[in-house]
Structure 1
């Protein structure tokens, strides 16, 4: 495996980070798993090219005690799969969530949270229903646009939705 892989674990350990989010393959899982053991960390497999939660489960394989998933709602939207359904199907592996919205299926064009097709409200509802109590990140890849105001509004909205009955 590349030297930078170990450097990621070393750096995270020095910073006190216990979870790395990364894309991995079924073939790289044994190496990543051994590094998780060595450094006392977990890795959340983030979906980008994967079109279905079964692909994430296949990458995790038999290593579910230290490998899990970080659901990226925007990428599931880009791939045309319901992010809320992915949350349900991956609930036993869920380590982190990146709430991100996209404009359309087929192209990864991020937009302000709640203004696209990724089903953010449904995803938050799914998280509430499964009793998710870990980190939720608001992710907005805005290109040249300063996303600060969009992210601040999104934070208020997500907190309100999480706290509703």
Structure 2
């Protein structure tokens, strides 16, 4: 296995500075944030992408994944700002694939298509996207799922054209939360370019044992996220070793499964201390014999 670190923790840092820090710490790769302030697909050109590729090469870093999940670069519509959601949500989830307004849903689809083209230009294999989104109160859950399936099918046409996978990332409190939810969804999507971004902490937060469902989702999983989670299973990304997850047990099960791709540490709440947080996560991995 190789280990990456997600750039979404470095939103208070310039891209080059963050890459330099992560290379110095010893990560094999980085999960690029396809959003402001790093590399928003709607505002970059070929020269920008070529520059990022050069920087990655200079620092000896690979792209573990492209994060097209977070989205803060698009101004939220009045419709979204005035809506009451049935669940708590964060702005970077919006616009989602399941908004009430067709225009808002289309904005997320277009962002995903642009992200796929950007990932292809970077030479990346996949992007990760949210599992639908927070469900507006006035949208029944079955209609939200229909909208999500339709949106992913549309984006999958671009994925097939450019040769980049779309990885849906189940998350607590969003449309798709559990491994069963994901399997029900994937049965409705007829594209070999749609798979799973397996976030171990997310599954743990909804009561599943991540180590026990690796095989269950293996046919669809192309990339993994890890973080720790508090003992009460609150969805709160926590430094490795400071929560209650069996990180070693999960990584051992993943290694035993034969997986040899990237596992990316995702600790986005640690923006104030991103370099120190990335270093501490690597120290955990070294001390436990994973690096």
TM-score, with structure 2 as normaliser:
0.50
1:47 to 155, 159, 170: 170
- Three-state SS of the structure 2 residue aligned to 1:146 is helix
The 3-state SS of whatever aligns with 1:142 is helix
User: Alignment partner for residue 8 of structure 1, among 105, 112, 119?
Assistant: 112
Structure with greater strand percent: 1
Match of 1:33 in 2: 153
2:131 paired residue number: 24
1:104 positional shift = 2.6
Q: What's the counterpart of residue 103 of structure 1?
A: 230
Q: Report the count of equivalent residues.
A: 163
Unaligned segments of structure 1, at least 5 residues: none
Backbone CA RMSD of aligned residues: 2.5
| Rg (Cα) greater in structure | 2
**In the TM superposition, what whole-angstrom CA distance separates every residue of 1:120-146 from its partner, at most 9, and x where no partner exists?**
111111210111122211011335651
Give runs of aligned pairs for residues 139-150 of structure 1, distance below 5 A.
139-143=266-270, 145-150=272-277
Give distance in 1, aligned partners of 2:225 and 2:198. 6
Greater relative contact order, per chain length (Cα 8 Å cut-off, separation 6+): 2
More displaced stretch, 123-132 vs 26-35: 26-35
Distance in 2 separating the partners of 1:105 and 1:88:
26
Partner of 1:67: 194
Gaps of 5+ in 2: 1-104, 133-144
Give, in whole Å, the separation in 2 of the partners of 1:64 and 1:83: 25
C-alpha contact 2:131 2:171 (8 A) present in aligned 1: no
> Is the alpha carbon distance of 1:12 and 1:99 closer, same or farther for their aligned partners in structure 2, counting shifts above 3 Å?
same
Q: CA deviation at 1:113?
A: 0.8
SS at match of 2:273: coil
Q: Distance in 2 between the 1:103 and 1:9 partners?
A: 35
Among candidates 79, 92, 96, match of residue 206 of structure 2: 79
